[in-house]
Amino acid sequence: MEENKLDTVLQDLSIAQPAIGLNEGFRDAMWQRVGELTEARDRRRRAILGAAIFAVSLGTGLGATITPAMAEPTRYGMYDGSELAPSSLLHLS
């Protein structure tokens, strides 16, 4: 199609079919809906994060309570214990 014909067809369409008029509240309603979707996404994210934290803390708590706690004496690999006696550290004979 030639440019002149295309221009005339477009002008005829614009005259015959006026632009769809949007009411005044359309933008407000659109941004309200965007806000609702954002809030829903944030709620889902917080719920998932809370569930993950709960699961990790529950697993950690169960793992800590099942493992028995036993006090073991401190062992030094280089010393057998007699070198750490107070009299030997103060070089008393």
Average pLDDT over residues 47-62: 91
Average pLDDT, the chain: 75
Task: Please say if the pLDDT value at position 45 is more than 70.
Answer: yes
Average pLDDT over residues 45-56: 96
How far lies 47's CA from each of 7, 33, 40, 44, 51, in Å? 55, 21, 11, 5, 6
Show Cβ contacts of residue 1 under 8 Å, excluding neighbours closer than 6 positions: 9
Report d(CA 26, CA 37) in Å as an integer.
17
pLDDT given at position 29 = 80
Dump pLDDT digits (tens) for 1-36: 566 777 777 777 666 555 555 567 777 788 888 889
